[in-house]
Amino acid sequence: MTKADVAPVGETAARPPAGQRAVKVWLYLLAALVVGMVAVGGATRLTGSGLSITEWRPVTGAVPPLSAEAWAAEFDKYKDTPQYRILNQGMGLSDFKVLYAWEWGHRLLGRVVGLVFFLPLLWFWWRGALTRRLGLGLLGLGLLGGLQGAIGWIMVASGLQPGMTAVAPLKLALHLTTASLILAGLVWLAAGLRPRVAPPEPARLRVTAVAIMGLVLAQIFLGGLVAGSKAGLVYNTWPSMNGMLVPPASELFAVSPWIENFVDNLTLVQFNHRLTAYLLLALALAHALDARRTWPGSGLARRATGIAGLVVAQACLGILTLLLAVPLWAALSHQVFAMAVLTMATVHARATRSVAATTPNLESPTTPFGFETLAGRAA
């Protein structure tokens, strides 16, 4: 068999059934909402709004203050925070309302994501539209979503501690990375619903595709550390760091104990983000060249080339953000574009695997997973 006898990887083997398409559309809608959450969360952080709501009220917190008395009460709670006393002393109520609106909108969008996830999940599950593997994957993402909410509050609580004017960088990075994992999980499951032919050899193309996805996630985590510690406001030169390609060890590990340098040392935090960007860029370009040489004209080669282009664009946007000393528009664009890179990398990694289209059709529902034993007894 020659390469010409095999369909290019990523080509659709058959048109998916209507029910399967509905599940896929729902998953991609959820993914878009998660990207929106990341964007609003980034704006909340960049405007310093994240500590404006000092309580975690999952249900009643969905309703904002509706009277002058309620607004005054919320403002008084904020006045007790270190951020107000250190940074925003003398702020007026109208300015506080702007901060409050960003954080409230971020939390409200989180509630919307939860509803859009769980209500259709129950419907598809009841109609038998989910295989056991897909259903378990979705339940796992639901648990991860709950954990994400808890991490978000732990993050906010860290910024309410004495002497703090912002949230802890490590908790911010974990919050952003967990959102990215949820996004990757949704896209992975959605991409897996499309029937595909088996991937070609060599296996290194599959390995590097997954490695790129993993590196993107690692880079997002490191970017969260940079954002949380405001490490982007130092060393605003490129390719050097104020004249040094590699800062001396005395600067990279100036903090004791040494392990804390990876979170608290702005020099090492930014240096790690740069190094991982270079590694990701090199791997993406090498993978694209390998795919185009090994399997020219295939969906695999086109996707690999697209990812390389996205990584190059993201690297340029990151450099621009650094050189401009992190203006809001550039920082937010850089964060949101990272989600685009992750989405494409996830689709590509999933598409390089052999996928069988086994998800049942909504028009012919099967026994919902978890009810198989009852169905067997009835039969």
* Interval 99-127: pLDDT, tens: 999 999 999 999 999 999 999 999 998 88
pTM, whole model, 2 decimals? 0.87
Lowest mean pLDDT among 20-24, 38-42, 152-156, 258-262: 20-24
Q: What is the pLDDT of residue 62?
A: 86
Task: Give tens-digit pLDDT for 76-90.
Answer: 999 999 999 999 998
Q: What average pLDDT does range 193-221 have in this prediction?
A: 84
pLDDT band at 163 (very low <50, low <70, confident <90, very high): confident
Q: What average pLDDT does range 12-25 have in this prediction?
A: 66
Q: How far apart are alpha carbons 331 and 314 in whole angstroms? A: 11
pLDDT band at 203 (very low <50, low <70, confident <90, very high): confident
Q: H/E/C letters for each residue in the chain?
A: CCHHHCCCCCCECCCCCHHHHHHHHHHHHHHHHHHHHHHHHHHHHHCCCCCCCCCCCCCHHHCCCCCHHHHHHHHHHHHCCHHHHHCCCCCCHHHHHHHHHHHHHHHHHHHHHHHHHHHHHHHHHHCCCCCHHHHHHHHHHHHHHHHHHHHHHHHHHHCCCCCCCCCCHHHHHHHHHHHHHHHHHHHHHHHCCCCECCCCCCCHHHHHHHHHHHHHHHHHHHHHHHHHHCHHHCCCCCCCECCECCCCHHHHCCCCCHHHHHHHCHHHHHHHHHHHHHHHHHHHHHHHHHHHHHCCCCHHHHHHHHHHHHHHHHHHHHHHHHHCCCCHHHHHHHHHHHHHHHHHHHHHHHHCCCCCCCCCCCCCCCCCCCCHHHHHHHC
Task: Give tens-digit pLDDT for 178-189.
Answer: 999 999 999 999
Q: What is the pLDDT of residue 299?
A: 85
